[in-house]
Amino acid sequence: MKQTGFTLIELVIVIVILGLLAATALPRFINIATDARIASVQGVAGGLRGAISLAKAQVLVAGSGGGTITMDGVSVAVNASSFPTNAPGGIEAAMQGLDGYSVAHGSPDSTFRPTNGGNSTCQALYNSNVGTVTVTSTGC
């Protein structure tokens, strides 16, 4: 009776090939968490830019400079330059929810950082004086 199957050499070669593939693919999978945080910060920055543009457009349409506007039923404080203020009632209200992010308000900046890792340089920075958003993704 003749037996069929793989020889020991064939099995060893397959194991070596799988090991080489795993060794080359593993570093790429390790960076996925970092890439996800970078993409998340860039996504929040895009949301900030959109909220800033909508708030400024609403102020221009209303013909007022500074005060409070209503965006989808939410009151948003805007400064004299027609940008949302750097406060919870300003840019945070315009964003209407930021799960997974901590926000620190300074003058004139608000800093948005992911709460799921990364260090203090992984952030989106909103400047309420000029309405700009800057992304720093080093250390994510």
Q: What is the pLDDT along the chain (140 residues), one digit of tens a residue?
A: 677 788 889 899 999 999 998 888 877 777 788 888 899 999 999 999 999 999 999 998 888 777 899 888 899 999 999 999 999 999 999 988 888 899 999 888 999 998 877 677 889 999 999 999 999 988 77
Whole-prediction pTM: 0.76
- What are the distances in angstroms from CA 62 to CA 68, 82, 97, 107, 135? 11, 11, 25, 26, 30
User: Checking DSSP bridges between strand 74-78 and strand 109-114, what pairing results, if any?
Assistant: unpaired
Among 94, 130, 100, which residue's Cα sits nearest to residue 112?
100
User: Residue 17: helix, strand or coil by DSSP?
Assistant: helix
User: Residue 122: helix, strand or coil by DSSP?
Assistant: coil
Burial of 123: CB neighbours in 10 Å, binned 0-12, 13-18, 19+:
buried
Q: Which amino acid is at 134?
A: T
